[in-house]
Structure 1
Amino acid sequence: MKMSRAADPAVRHRNIVIVNDMLWGGGRERRIVQLIAGINRQGGDNITLVLLDDRVDYPEVFSLNVNVIKISRSSNRDFSVFGKLYRLIKAQGACVVNPWSFMSVFYAAPMCLLAKQPCIGAFVVDCKPPARFSINWFAMKIGFLLCRGVVSNSAAGHAAYATPREKRIVIHNGFDSARLKRVALPSTERGPVMIAMIGRLDKQKDFRTYIDALAILQGKGVAFRAFIVGQGDDHEALKAYTIQRDLRDVHITGFVSEIDTFISGVDIGVLCTDPAHHAEGISNALMEMMAQGKPVVATDDGGTPEIVDDGNNGILIPPCDAEALAGKLDLLIRDERLRKQLGANAAKTIATKFSLDEMATKFLQVYDGVA
């Protein structure tokens, strides 16, 4: 629902239409909600969020100054969406349309052309382009052709997708430092070091390498508590795999809505990906852990080196290397001083280079450039 906001006559008013499939508990969706919050702070903008499905795992969007509209569709390829979206865009008058997913750019970009409104794509969110001649590949090509510009959250993403050079825009994810003011402090009674990997429970995140590394640590008698945080199709398979590896203190939490409070109790963050299936752009999970001064160990691939400076604010490891991950985790578990040093540098990186205000400002500059 749309909430009122006092207008500042000195601020230029824009009509911004953001389009995405849904607001499920993923990094792309979290970034959309954060962007809307960041734009709200800067004032003077009328934002409409168009969703193609009912699922909303971030209900806080309804407390923001945004008009949320659901466009009904009978399937992922319901061609009636074209007409519905065209009428919505025309009703907005002068606007900038910003689709964030393959299917949303597939629908939105041609309708923007018909409605004579600019389209800015934001569908490059990782470093693993879709398979050639798939529906997502065709949607990507439509976006490259019809969008005035294409935003990626990493330079590596543009390189991987082969985005037309003249349309490349890099805007890193932004973290809202105000979130930290609401975080409940963890208990001072601490047990073993707590390790967590946060992400979708599917092949895009390499939880098996993480589990294998934990099994190696346990076999060496290293004390720890570990968490697998997220939801997805591989939930039961990963649960079975932890049992198969006879891991005693590993917990699969499912989706955690109060993620900042959870992270406050974590000592070490992990992010593993398998390049055969996925390569990160800029991971929200890494950013959120680093913002709270947590040292991170992550796969050296995709856009991750754009946020993790190996040995300075975190540690990078080769893909699918459980031995390397176990070794670095063992080092951090045993060396509290190193944990604090890397964590302090990580928090500084987020505060100076990955702020929400900077992300929102850069998006608004892009919108202004095509309005």
Structure 2
Amino acid sequence: MKRLRPSTLWSAARARRRSLGRRIAIAAEAARRRLRERLEARFADWSPDGPTPGATSGGVPTRSAAAGPTRVGYYLWRFPLLSETFIRREMAALVEAGVPVAVVADERDDARTPDRATATMLPYAAYVLPVSYPALLAQAAGFLARRPLTFLRLALFVAVTRYDRDKSLAADARLFGKAVAVAARMRALGVGHVHSPWANANALVALVASRLMGVGFSVQARAHDLHRDDTAFALPTKFRHARFVVTNTRYNEAGVRALLPDGERAKVHRIHNGIDLADFVPLRVPNDDGVARILTVARLIEPKGLTLLLRACAALRDRGVAFRCDVIGGPEEPLYTAYRVQLGVLHRQLDLAPHVRFRGALPFAKVLDAYRTADLFVLPCVEAANGSKDITPNALIEAMAMGLPVISTRMTGIPEIVDDGCSGVLVAPGDVDALTDAMLALLDDPERRARLGVEARRAVEARFDIRTNVREYVRLFRDVC
């Protein structure tokens, strides 16, 4: 009988242990998934206060007509954040329409481009960080004492819900602790309904905070929170527990509805982002030096397609076009640090310093001045490597409101903003030659630029007036508060 060598026996034993370890890991993950699904299913039918009183209309629970106004609490990561002007405009319009609003954010941020909406909302803002551990423990003890079963079930719900790529017990504790702090702050402010203007992990914080308080929750799904692969987690869970869900385009609407059961899809509402038209008066300032002014207003991030813009500008220069292109907007770090560096390298390689200027983030008044002096606005959006994409670029709407001819790309919700050939020009995303040709054609045809600018303003007046669009928000919030 052949005897096996000790090394062979040892290798076989290690292989058996690895195989057993894999089977245990697979079984544990399957058990965890079943537990999560069971708890999520139970949580879906659960309300901290029992069944919601009143009938429903269009998927939105109604309130008694005799009830007084209740404050709506917007929960944000940072406020006022440079890239979230459209959210501040929405909140300011709600306040103007008589809806009591409070803003609760983790931290304060300097928007660096103050406008009227920012000035309106800053007095309504409160912040939860920094918070001391003794204070947080006291807040948690208060919620635990008032609603012990709710508190424990919510903690377990966070533990079994995958809301982020890097989920861990420590991350669960941080998220739940943040929800406790947010709930305590909103409770002190008299908030009767919690709203998350994003469907990312912040929406789960807002959802848990609302359940700790025993009030309603709603959510908006707009852009990266739906499409970026590092943020689009637990979307069906967030949507299912919301009194209503808002999205901003037909492009998004079908996908959001598909994540809900048939009986709940009526609670999804499409409301376009809006701007205050009084801030955007199309007074053109003519240029008499023979140099065309091209403008882009965008954060320095991959979905804006700025590398394509640089290559198109290089092609215009090589064709002998006299122009200057200003890029207004700051970097977004650390997520797009490498992209910002890539832009700088490409700018130097193409020798574009005499033609293209990166002006950084500017005050709102200076951005308006740039719109007034520009001949053409260009925003060649693309899909980023991580799936992030611009759905309704707000700078595109602003430029159109200022009567500028615009060029963008035929993707996502952009065709819902720009009627190709009527209120602007759309090209295929990523096509530098088509972008260059479109820019050259408009720069050579001032009469067509003027016609497109007039139609662009009309399109914004018809679909993106914040005072018109906010009426649907007012109805939704008054129905659930």
The TM-score normalised by the length of structure 2 is 0.68
2:216 is aligned, of 113, 118, 128, to: 118
Distance in 1 (CA, whole Å) between partners of 2:284 and 2:380 is 27
Select the structure of larger CA radius of gyration.
2
Q: Counterpart of 1:49 in structure 2: which amino acid?
A: V
Question: CA, structure 1 residues 115+172, in 2 after alignment: closer, same or farther (shift >3 Å)?
Answer: same
Other-structure match for 2:237: 142
Other-structure match for 1:254: 360
Distance in 1 (CA, whole Å) between partners of 2:171 and 2:375 is 41
Secondary structure of 2:272's match? coil
Distance in 2 (CA, whole Å) between partners of 1:73 and 1:145 is 31
- What is the CA-CA distance between 1:236 and the residue it aligns to? 4.0
Greater per-residue helix proportion: 2
1:227 is aligned, of 326, 330, 340, to: 326
- What is the CA-CA distance between 1:148 and the residue it aligns to? 1.5
Other-structure match for 2:266: 166
- What is the CA-CA distance between 1:257 and the residue it aligns to? 1.8
1:342-369 C-alpha deviation (Å, 9 max, x unpaired): 0000001111211010122121111122
1:13 is aligned, of 48, 53, 69, to: 69
Q: Is the 8 A contact 2:73 2:191 kept in 1?
A: no
1:82-112 C-alpha deviation (Å, 9 max, x unpaired): 1111223333446221112323212011221
1:89-139 C-alpha deviation (Å, 9 max, x unpaired): 3334462211123232120112213322111102323585232xx5x3335
Question: CA, structure 1 residues 146+342, in 2 after alignment: closer, same or farther (shift >3 Å)?
Answer: same
Distance in 2 (CA, whole Å) between partners of 1:40 and 1:344 is 31
Q: Is the 8 A contact 1:14 1:46 kept in 2?
A: yes
Q: Counterpart of 1:15 in structure 2: which amino acid?
A: R
Q: Percent identity?
A: 24
Other-structure match for 2:375: 267
In the TM superposition, what are the counterparts of 1:239-318 in structure 2 within 5 Å? Answer: 239-247=344-352, 248-258=354-364, 259-276=367-384, 277-318=387-428
- What is the CA-CA distance between 1:307 and the residue it aligns to? 0.8
Distance in 1 (CA, whole Å) between partners of 2:182 and 2:303 is 30
Question: CA, structure 1 residues 264+88, in 2 after alignment: closer, same or farther (shift >3 Å)?
Answer: same
Distance in 2 (CA, whole Å) between partners of 1:188 and 1:268 is 12
- What is the CA-CA distance between 1:40 and the residue it aligns to? 2.8
Distance in 2 (CA, whole Å) between partners of 1:235 and 1:302 is 24
- What is the CA-CA distance between 1:281 and the residue it aligns to? 2.1
2:100 is aligned, of 46, 51, 70, to: 46
Distance in 2 (CA, whole Å) between partners of 1:231 and 1:184 is 26
- What is the CA-CA distance between 1:311 and the residue it aligns to? 0.3
The gaps in structure 1 that reach 5 residues or longer are 1-10
Aligned residues: CA RMSD: 2.6
**Equivalent pairs, count:** 355
Distance in 1 (CA, whole Å) between partners of 2:107 and 2:181 is 14
1:321 is aligned, of 431, 444, 451, to: 431
- What is the CA-CA distance between 1:282 and the residue it aligns to? 1.6
Q: Is the 8 A contact 1:194 1:226 kept in 2?
A: yes
Q: Is the 8 A contact 2:178 2:205 kept in 1?
A: yes
1:145-165 C-alpha deviation (Å, 9 max, x unpaired): 321222111121233454433
Other-structure match for 2:462: 352
Question: CA, structure 1 residues 359+367, in 2 after alignment: closer, same or farther (shift >3 Å)?
Answer: same
Distance in 2 (CA, whole Å) between partners of 1:188 and 1:204 is 31
Question: CA, structure 1 residues 76+173, in 2 after alignment: closer, same or farther (shift >3 Å)?
Answer: farther
Other-structure match for 2:61: none
Q: Counterpart of 1:256 in structure 2: which amino acid?
A: L
1:156 is aligned, of 239, 251, 257, to: 251
1:129 aligns with 2:227: yes
Q: Is the 8 A contact 1:127 1:280 kept in 2?
A: no
- What is the CA-CA distance between 1:321 and the residue it aligns to? 0.6
Q: Is the 8 A contact 1:299 1:317 kept in 2?
A: yes
- What is the CA-CA distance between 1:218 and the residue it aligns to? 0.9
Other-structure match for 2:343: 238
- Which deviates more, 116-125 or 220-229? 116-125
1:171-194 C-alpha deviation (Å, 9 max, x unpaired): 10111111135x886366454121
